[in-house]
Amino acid sequence: MKSFTIYNPVKIHFGNGMLAQAGSIAKKYSDNILIVTGKNSMQKTGTLDKLVKILKESGITVTVYDGITPNPTATEIDEAAKIAKQKKVGLIIGLGGGSPLDSAKAIAVAAKGDIPVWEYLKTPANDALPIITIVSTSGTGSEVNRYSVMTNPATGEKPGFGYECMYPKEAIIDPEITSSMPPYVTAATGFDVFVHIFEAFTGKAKNEFSSAYCMQAFYLLKDNLIKAYSEPDNMQARGDMALASALAGLAIDISGVSIMHAMEHPVSGNYPNIAHGAGLAVLALESMKYNLNACKRDYILIAHHFGIKRADKSDDEYAMSLIEKTKEILTALNLNVRLKDLGVEKDKLQKIAKEAFATMGFAIDNNPAVIDEKGVLKLLENSY
């Protein structure tokens, strides 16, 4: 029997209208706060103003850093950490999708030290400012896990890191905030949840706890991903996708991700205008085929829970039907395209394959089937 340790200290507040609690939650940690957010969405929807107002009404001094771009860079993080130090803030609130939330964690670490954030990839951090996440997408799971992903804009490298001090103290998951996601963002982030479930459920590091999170996340996702995409105002679907995102985020906190993420990070690292979930979508089918033999039983189980009819299909045929089903979902979400359609240049594939190993080695190691750099290049070429 496998031995393991699991730990997740994030206090989760879930529910429509939960944003209103932000003042009393934040006040427990500090009355001098930095909000970290993106450049557009939270301003346009009025959520940022609402949050600032709620915090100020609780007597909190608020500074806003709204320079985080999708697939955030280490430069932005260092810039915001400098502001956090200058203002001597005692709490970082991340407001937005995975990009601002990941940045908030990295800023919380960098603000405590005196080295550029990139150096924390090699230098373990033991201390960070407290972090609160207020999530606006249903995708990365960053709201409840310790991971942060950042890009080196000079090289395109996009590794993830996550130390114990980077767990958010508290997470506010208010589905109303996610309801403004446009269809493309809903589709891409929702497919990210699917891949988290899939990779945590099939990866070598899986265990009973991560699988339990995966199963409930899967049940919520299978009935609500396409619904949230095609009926943006359906608050039941939005709420269930927000739950699925958090559950899958807890699953990857335990068991990590594998090959699709290992390949996708260098894709969106080198092409920051590619959405993480859209990158995963173009890599999913080839990766699933590659791994089929290594985790056939898991595929069969997921196919069964999807409600796919077994009839007289062999194990291989039934496992393959999961890949067909995934293709249907991608088509329904308008994400069933090729790497070249996303603007990736063919002569970059070699660099992407190399970086998958150099920056995402832990995800390669977690893949159910062994794969080398040549194998990864082949998957990228087949997805091109």
From 15-23, 74-82, 95-103, 361-369, span contacting ligand NZQ (CB under 6 A): 95-103
Contact between 140 and ligand NZQ (CB under 6 A)? yes
Site for ligand NZQ in 208-267 (CB under 6 A): 261
Q: How far is the CB of 86 from ligand NZQ (least distance, A)?
A: 24
Cβ nearer to ligand NZQ, comparing 136 with 321? 136
156 binds, among Mn ion, ligand NZQ, none (CB under 5 to 8 A by kind): none
Q: Rounded to whole angstroms, how far apart are CA atoms 128 and 89?
A: 12
Residue 147 has a CB neighbour count (10 Å cut-off) of: 22
From 57-65, 185-193, 209-217, 328-336, span contacting ligand NZQ (CB under 6 A): 185-193
113 contacts 192 by C-beta, under 8 angstroms: no
Contact between 192 and Mn ion (CB under 5 A)? yes
Site for ligand NZQ in 49-78 (CB under 6 A): 70-71
Residue 332 has a CB neighbour count (10 Å cut-off) of: 14
Contact between 39 and ligand NZQ (CB under 6 A)? yes
Residue of 34, 36, 41, 213 that binds ligand NZQ (CB under 6 A): 41
From 91-99, 202-210, 285-293, 321-329, span contacting ligand NZQ (CB under 6 A): 91-99
Residue of 30, 73, 137, 255 that binds ligand NZQ (CB under 6 A): 137
**Phi–psi pair at 134, nearest 5 degrees:** -125, 105
178 contacts 136 by C-beta, under 8 angstroms: yes
Site string for ligand NZQ, 263-282 (x = CB under 6 A): -------------xx-----
Alpha helices by DSSP H, the chain = 22-27, 41-44, 47-57, 74-86, 98-110, 175-178, 183-202, 208-230, 235-255, 259-270, 276-291, 296-306, 315-332, 349-359, 361-365, 373-382
Q: For the chain, how long is the longest CA-to-CA vector?
A: 67
Cβ nearer to ligand NZQ, comparing 237 with 300? 237
Residue 380: partners with Cβ closer than 8 Å, 6 or more residues away: 263, 283, 339, 349, 352, 353
Site residues (vs ligand NZQ, CB under 6 A): 38-42, 45, 70-71, 96-99, 102, 136-137, 139-142, 145, 147-149, 177-178, 180-182, 185, 189, 192, 261, 276-277
